Structure 1
């Protein structure tokens, strides 16, 4: 599924690119290596509240620029809190102002934490996850479609989770907000087909982006046929293919990039 330099001359907006261990960084790196110019968003305050902490943003951006294959490629970045009602439109407008036209939208951002099981939910908790994970993604798609002029290569990739394959009992707000994106994929794809835009949603599965403790990793690894956790570049390879010309016939799909992850597989393999 190599894309070569098939994205030369195209512009990708990738959200949630703030940590070198993150999926967003892996996606941006892949697209830079394929020749795309990039407009990246990040929200450092979210990372600072997480156990894994924040990364140095200058180092993140420099690492993405190092993947570029053409001196004409541009990499721009914007700090943005996508929970704000107007943030999606403002982000797309900033990307267009900076780079002229956006060909590819990858909504990688997500709100994590401040969640819980049934019995602990509050309206504020549910609204906060909806605003970031769902509402802003839909508004970004809308803004992307509004600025798209019909040229070839229009691509949208949303990110869901594994809530459709197994329960996520301690993350009800997160799972609900991500399920909405999976559920609306086919509708968005149908709506944007006449504009030549494909829309797909990727579930990256359990990926070690720095949040996994050694204990969690040891418990989950045997559930993968290949005996290892997912890595950020695993879903990034799929996304890079989807947004390339090679992925032009794929639309309206929810794709599980889980490496055969089986939630029912026992935590330890029998000998022999």
Structure 2
């Protein structure tokens, strides 16, 4: 492994990579540029129902391939992660590329069709929970089982996961994505905020268990990142006074997908492995205002 390609020989699965404007695409291309083999997951039907629409998946695939280093491999898998039985199939498909899986980035998310507390129904809450929270936890569980000693003994509350540590280095990395609900109100996005708050809240618990297997989990809050939803022609919200507000911020811009991608890329290397179990905000100071 060279300093130039710190992820050479590693295999990464990045979920929610269906649009070139998205964070998932930026993460996938960043990991590829660092030497990783990359498997992307996508579910284009979700985007087709939203104002920004679906991207050309062939162009998405080609864009990731362009960043692969010599000898690195690529694959993609389509799946609706609201269907629990699809999750083991996604992990199996990712593992099949090289016979190993080292990095899991749970970037997928359901967005749109949200509302205020007055608009909440069991169906709406379940829809966000199933994709944003349940699927992330189940993907992480499948990833962890690849390295966990087999046992038929049920675990009780307080029982530690049995691993084979101490480890000379991190045996793998997991990344979850949360949102700005940890810093303030997300008015009109109750179902989304609730589903993401659950991930932020359980990060330390799951990170402690994964660490027994040598796996490092961190959760990223990328802050406001324009993936198309802040463009007037493809927005799903009011943009009144947005430009004026952004111009008053220290950097005069919102986040770009490359911003959280750079952070995840570094954390996925051995240099970033000492950061464990954190909910990290990468928002250019928006949460300080």
1:229 deviates by 1.3
Equivalent position of 1:210 in the other structure: 228
Q: For structure 1, which segment, 21-30 or 212-221, has the greater mean C-alpha deviation from structure 2 after superposition?
A: 212-221
Q: Secondary structure of 2:263's partner? A: helix
Q: Secondary structure of 1:119's partner? A: helix
Equivalent position of 1:136 in the other structure: 135
1:97 deviates by 2.1
Equivalent position of 1:51 in the other structure: 51
Equivalent position of 1:75 in the other structure: 74
- Rounded to whole Å, the distance in 2 between the matches of 1:44 and 1:81 is 9
| Cα gap change, 1:164 to 1:37, in 2 (>3 Å) | same
Identify which of 269, 273, 276 aligns with 1:244.
269
| Cα gap change, 1:223 to 1:83, in 2 (>3 Å) | farther
Equivalent position of 2:195 in the other structure: 177
- Rounded to whole Å, the distance in 1 between the matches of 2:266 and 2:171 is 12
Deviations 1:32-90 (A, max 9, x none): 000000111000000101101111001111111101121x2111001110000112111
Q: For structure 1, which segment, 6-15 or 144-153, has the greater mean C-alpha deviation from structure 2 after superposition?
A: 144-153
TM-score normalised by L of structure 2: 0.87
1:223–1:263 contact (8 Å) kept in structure 2: no
1:94 deviates by 1.4
Q: Secondary structure of 2:175's partner? A: strand
| Cα gap change, 1:24 to 1:220, in 2 (>3 Å) | farther
Q: Secondary structure of 2:105's partner? A: strand
- Rounded to whole Å, the distance in 2 between the matches of 1:88 and 1:222 is 42
- Rounded to whole Å, the distance in 1 between the matches of 2:131 and 2:221 is 17
Alignment of 1:93-242 (within 5 A): 93-148=92-147, 152-214=170-232, 215=239, 217-222=242-247, 224-242=249-267
1:8–1:34 contact (8 Å) kept in structure 2: yes
Deviations 1:111-136 (A, max 9, x none): 00111001110000000000000000
Deviations 1:208-246 (A, max 9, x none): 111113546514413531111110000100010111111
1:224–1:259 contact (8 Å) kept in structure 2: no
- Rounded to whole Å, the distance in 2 between the matches of 1:184 and 1:220 is 33
Q: Secondary structure of 2:27's partner? A: helix
Equivalent position of 1:267 in the other structure: none
1:8–1:36 contact (8 Å) kept in structure 2: yes
- Superposition RMSD in Å: 1.6
User: Runs of 4 or more off by more than 2 Å in structure 1?
Assistant: 148-153, 213-217
Equivalent position of 1:17 in the other structure: 17
Unaligned runs of 5+ in 2: 149-163, 233-238
| Cα gap change, 1:122 to 1:153, in 2 (>3 Å) | same
Report how many aligned residue pairs link the two structures. Answer: 261
1:209–1:231 contact (8 Å) kept in structure 2: yes
Unaligned runs of 5+ in 1: 265-272
- Rounded to whole Å, the distance in 2 between the matches of 1:8 and 1:80 is 27
1:148 deviates by 3.1
